[in-house]
Amino acid sequence: MNQNAQPHYVPVFAAMLGLVSVQTGAAVGKTLFPLVGPEGVAALRLGIAAIVLFVCIRPRSIWRQVKLGELLGYGVMMGLMNLLIYRAFLYIPVGIAVSIEVIGPLGAALWSSRRRIDLLWIALSACGLVLLPWDSGQGGLDPRGVAFALAAALAWGLYVVLGSRVAIHGNQAVAGGMLIAAALAVPLGAAQAGTLLLEPRVMIVGLSVALLSSTFPFLLDIFAMRRLPASLFGVLLSASPAVAAIAGWLVLGERLSVTQCAGIVAIAGACVGSALVGAGRAGRVSSEVA
């Protein structure tokens, strides 16, 4: 069966499976915090993923083809957003941390916009952020977790901007960026956890986290992005906060209030609206150019 004859639901299923894989891996990674801490989990995830991608893709030519400053920034932001979001997981539920984190790429998409309707997505995401701290069961969210999640959001936004500049180099850029991210995270994780990172149980869980959070989603996203319109792919990824909340509940037993769930839905809705309107505008511009 050729690519064009492929059922339309296959790439949609691949994108959703990749999303579920990422958030499940994040929740599984949190189970290792008592042993190796958040930096240790980030080191395992990025270190193992870097090895897998290096073996599979062998990014040898990327260092000569790309502007090293842009690739370095891309890799550093990749490492920082992983380190920061895992640190946020230490203090607040996974679903809430991811909901705050997606404000980064949403903000990057809205930064240069001049459309009035984008004020609606900004207001909707702001309402979602206001709702997240309500009824957390512990007298409010830990401000440290919120701060780390906001920092991760900033890193993710910069990652999107820098990633667009090296995207022309495809898989080579991703593998090169992952090596840089691992070079940042692994020393920090080793300093925190030491030889515990090499214990068989930790390595097995770390391998599952790397495969679930980095390797499998990367392959699934590449498959889906080649077959789906950018607008539909963006809408599917907008489900990240909700999927993260479900993963946190199933894997970690993290329960959220109705108000917090409403906040997650509001932020996801802002992401969906921004993706759909942005894609519609891009389509109109393409038609006018043609």
- pLDDT of res. 289: 35
Two structure tokens written together for 226: 């080649």
Residue with tokens 């969210």: 141
- pLDDT of res. 1: 44
Report the distance separating Cα 267 and Cα 124, nearest Å. Answer: 6
pTM of the predicted protein model: 0.82
Report the distance separating Cα 183 and Cα 179, nearest Å. Answer: 6
Using left for φ > 0, alpha for ψ between -120 and 50, and beta otherwise, residue 137 falls in left
Mean pLDDT of the chain: 81
Query: Model confidence at 285, in pLDDT bands (50, 70, 90)?
Result: very low
Residue with tokens 């997505």: 121
Interhelix angle for 9-30 vs 33-57, to 10°? 140
Q: Which of 219, 282, 234 is nearest to 21 (CA)?
A: 219
% residues pLDDT > 90 (the chain): 32
Give the pLDDT mean for 50-74.
Answer: 79
Across 48-57, 109-118, 198-207, 274-283, least confident range: 274-283
